[in-house]
């Protein structure tokens, strides 16, 4: 009998399902994409994350992890599907809970009395209550009566690039719709989490996760705004931050080409959408970070005429990952190509250009790109670029969005 059914085998669901399986639980992983199901059942992975391949292979080979297209009966269900936003006609960003709703409704045919349903997806306040309403609506439609279902939110906090370490070692927050649900969810995560698990209610747990990412977004926006002020005033922002951070109570983050990924650039909007009049700082931070790629593009245009060859060092959304989703570096490279620049992309973490750049850019190694470039744009602070020095650039103009090249 399956112990845990995990819906969504992406960046969160796959490591979570695998770790439960390696702890001896019988896990059914569910994904709507057949290729993902097939890949995982072969013990392979469809995403890049250090050591995840080893974990998934161990989980599948132990016989404890199996993937399928539909959920089956289990004691516990974990929903780990995407929660993106959609841009409404008036420009507002609204959460798209379509994947969560579909996952919740898909449970109705298989849930049994006393089952626990955990929402892990980062979600707007009130979503766990909605999950309950969707399951109940679908049960009613099927004419099923299933007493004692328990619901909880348990957001993940793991950092892409060091997920497996953080999955085990990060403190967690669990918020049930009832104290019994919280207690069951806490016991569930104690299976593998070696850190503290704090219990609260579902709405606080939902807002806590959004708050963590909004906090980081606001702090990165501060750094990005400083970098734009410094460009205007002719001050070296890296030197400035280094010095200001010598104050015992100042800890400024690092500017970059913008904020990417599927978390920090998304989650604050769920707060802004729910409390627009009160979320002035959060909205402005999002706007500042979203405006940074345009600032970087303006600096490149000012130093290189159209048609020039631009070495774009890094395409991913942050250092040392292959994840191109919502990447400001990719957006900058794509825009340069659209404007007629010759884009020489250097991205050591991918083997082929993303579709949007195919035929419009070249994927090169670092020495070749540097040799052919007329301007060098350092967009991602990958380890692979750490040894690069200004002296290696032969006097070519440099736009260093990460303050990496000295
Ligand atoms: N960035 C900067 N300057 C900085 C720090 C980050 O420009 O000083 C940029 C990065 O380059 C990247 C973006 O911000 O484009 C986000 O990167 P990140 O490493 O800060 O965070 P994510 O999106 O990979 O993961 C975040 C984490 N949240 C927090 O640190 C509060 C992670 O713990 C969450 O689990 C994850 O979001 C999530 O899934 O919500």
The whole-number mean pLDDT for each consecutive block of 10 residues of the chain, a chain of 406 residues, reads 94 96 97 97 91 95 97 98 95 95 98 98 98 98 98 95 94 98 98 97 98 98 98 97 98 98 95 98 98 98 98 96 93 98 97 96 98 98 97 96 96
Q: Residue 6 pairs with which residues in a beta bridge?
A: 29, 78
Mutational test site, ligand 1, from 205, 220, 265, max ligand atoms within 8 Å of CB = 220
**Location of structure tokens 């349903």:** 117
Residue 266 is encoded by which pair of tokens?
């998304």
* Residue 158, ligand 1, Cβ within 6 A: yes
Going from the C-alpha of 115 to that of each of 46, 149, 191, 195, the distances in angstroms are: 30, 5, 17, 25
| Residue 11 Cβ < 6 Å to ligand 1 | no
**Distances in Å between the alpha carbon of 81 and those of 32, 35, 325, 379?**
10, 16, 16, 29
Q: For residue 1, what pLDDT is reported?
A: 76
159 CA to centre of ligand 1 in angstroms: 7
- 401, 328 in Cβ contact below 8 A? no
pLDDT of residue 252: 98
Is 171 touching ligand 1 by the criterion CB < 6 Å?
Answer: no
- Distance, in Å, from the CA atom of 143 to the CA atom of 140, rounded to the nearest integer, reads 5
The pTM score is 0.95
Specify whether 263 is catalytic: yes
Is-catalytic flag, 154? no
Q: How far is the CA of 351 from the centre of ligand 1 (A)?
A: 24
Which residue, judged by its Cα, is nearest atom 10 of ligand 1? Answer: 318
- List Cβ<8 Å contacts ≥24 apart for 131-134: 131/79, 131/100, 131/104, 132/177, 134/101, 134/104, 134/105
The first and second tokens of residue 140, run together, are 């009613």
**Rounded distance between C-alpha atoms, residue 70 and residue 30, angstroms:** 6
Domains (range + CATH), the chain = 4-203 (3.40.50.720), 241-400 (3.40.50.720)
d(CA 182, CA 152): 6
Q: Whose CA is nearest to atom 25 of ligand 1?
A: 159
Helix axes 127-142, 98-107, angle to 10 degrees: 40
User: Rounded CA gap, 70 and 61, in Å?
Assistant: 21
In whole angstroms, give the CA distance from residue 50 to residue 164.
8
Separation of CA 324 and ligand 1 centre (Å): 14
Strand partners, 79: 7, 119
Q: Which residues, 6 or more positions from 156, have their beta carbon under 8 angstroms from its beta carbon?
A: 12, 16, 80, 120, 122, 167
Q: Token pair of 383, please?
A: 């380890």
How many whole angstroms from its chain centre is CA 262?
Answer: 4
Q: Which of 5, 132, 186, 209 is an active site residue?
A: 209
The pLDDT, as a whole number, for residue 342 is 98
Residue among 224, 228, 264, 330 to mutate when testing ligand 1 (max atoms within 8 A of CB) = 264
Counting ligand 1 atoms within 8 A of each CB, the residue from 159, 162, 317 with the most, and so the one to mutate, is 159
On whether the CB atoms of residues 63 and 25 are closer than 8 A, the answer is: no
pLDDT of residue 49: 86
Query: Which residue is catalytic, options 5, 154, 193, 263?
Result: 263
State the number of CA atoms in the 13 A half-sphere of 23 facing the CB. Answer: 16
Element (H, E) at 288: helix 280-303
């Amino acid at each position: 009998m399956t112990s845990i059914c995990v819906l969504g085998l992406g960046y969160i669901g796959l490591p979570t399902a695998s770790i439960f399986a390696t702890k001896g639980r019988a896990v059914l992983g569910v994904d709507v994409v057949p290729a993902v199901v097939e890949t995982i059942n072969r013990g392979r992975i469809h995403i890049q994350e250090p050591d995840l391949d080893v974990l998934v292979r161990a989980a599948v080979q132990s016989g404890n992890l199996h993937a399928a297209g539909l959920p089956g009966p289990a004691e516990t269900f974990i929903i780990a599907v995407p929660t993106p936003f959609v841009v409404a006609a008036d420009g507002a960003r609204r959460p798209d809970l379509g994947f969560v709703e579909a996952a919740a409704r898909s449970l109705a045919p298989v849930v049994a009395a006393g089952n626990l349903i955990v929402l892990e997806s980062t979600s707007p306040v009130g979503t766990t209550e909605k999950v309950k309403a969707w399951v109940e609506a679908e049960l009613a439609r099927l004419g099923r009566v299933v007493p004692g279902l328990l619901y909880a939110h348990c957001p993940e906090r793991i950092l892409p690039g060091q997920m497996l370490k953080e999955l085990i070692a990060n403190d967690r927050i669990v918020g049930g719709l009832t104290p019994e649900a919280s207690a069951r969810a806490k016991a569930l995560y104690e299976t593998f989490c070696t850190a503290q698990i704090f219990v609260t209610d579902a709405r606080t747990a939902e807002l806590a996760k959004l708050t963590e990412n909004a906090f980081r977004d606001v702090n990165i926006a501060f750094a990005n705004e400083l970098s734009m002020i410094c460009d205007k005033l002719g001050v070296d922002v890296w030197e400035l931050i280094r010095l200001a951070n010598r104050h015992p109570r100042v800890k400024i983050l690092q500017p970059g080409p913008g904020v990417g990924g599927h978390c920090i650039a998304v989650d604050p909007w769920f707060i802004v959408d729910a409390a627009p009049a009160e979320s002035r700082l959060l909205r402005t931070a999002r706007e500042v970070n979203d405006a940074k790629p345009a600032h970087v593009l303006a600096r490149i245009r000012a130093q290189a005429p159209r048609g020039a060859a631009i070495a774009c060092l890094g395409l991913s959304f942050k250092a040392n990952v292959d994840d191109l989703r919502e990447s400001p570096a990719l957006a900058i490279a794509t825009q340069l190509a659209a404007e007629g620049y010759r884009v020489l992309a250097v991205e050591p973490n991918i083997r082929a250009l993303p579709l949007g750049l195919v035929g419009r850019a070249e994927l090169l190694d670092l020495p070749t790109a540097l040799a052919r470039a007329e301007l060098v744009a350092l967009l991602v602070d990958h380890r692979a670029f750490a040894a690069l020095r200004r002296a290696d650039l032969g006097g070519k103009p440099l736009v260093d969005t990460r303050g990496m090249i000295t």
